[in-house]
Amino acid sequence: MSPARIEDGKERGWIVPVGGAEDKSHNAAILRRFVEVSGGEDAVIAVIPTASMLPDTGDRYAALFKKLGAAEAYALPYSERSDAEREDLLEQLERATGVFLTGGNQLRISTILGGTPVAKQLRRLNARGVTVGGTSAGAAILSEHMIAYGENGSTPIAGAATLTPGLGLTNRVVIDQHFRQRDRLGRLLSALCYNPFAVGIGLDENTAAFIDPQDEIHVLGSGGVTLLDPGAISHTSVATARPGDPICVTGVRLHILTAGGRFNLHTRAATPPAPRPDDDDDTSLPKDGTP
β-strand pairing of 72-75 with 44-48: parallel
Examine the residue annotation and report whether 178 is marked as an active-site residue of this protein: yes
Non-local (6+) Cβ contacts of 23 within 8 A are 29, 30, 31, 206, 222
Rounded distance, CA 66 to CA 45, Å? Answer: 9
Rounded distance, CA 201 to CA 181, Å? Answer: 15
Rounded distance, CA 141 to CA 139, Å? Answer: 6
| 114-117: Cβ within 8 A, 24+ apart | 114/165, 116/81, 116/84, 116/85, 117/84, 117/85, 117/90
Three-state secondary-structure class, residue 134: strand
Examine the residue annotation and report whether 136 is marked as an active-site residue of this protein: yes
**11, 38, 84, 161 from 214: Cα distances, Å:** 8, 16, 30, 29
Task: Exactly one of 22, 52, 110, 178 is catalytic; name it.
Answer: 178
Please check whether residue 104 is in contact with residue 78, taking contact to mean a CB–CB distance below 8 angstroms.
Answer: no
Rounded distance, CA 36 to CA 50, Å? Answer: 24
Q: If we measure between CA atoms, which residue out of 174, 255, 260, 266 comes closest to residue 210?
A: 260
Rounded distance, CA 147 to CA 149, Å? Answer: 6
Task: Exactly one of 38, 110, 136, 143 is catalytic; name it.
Answer: 136
Q: In this structure, what DSSP letter does residue 17 have?
A: E
Task: Exactly one of 22, 143, 205, 255 is catalytic; name it.
Answer: 205
Rounded distance, CA 238 to CA 35, Å? Answer: 41
**Catalytic center residues:** 136, 178, 205
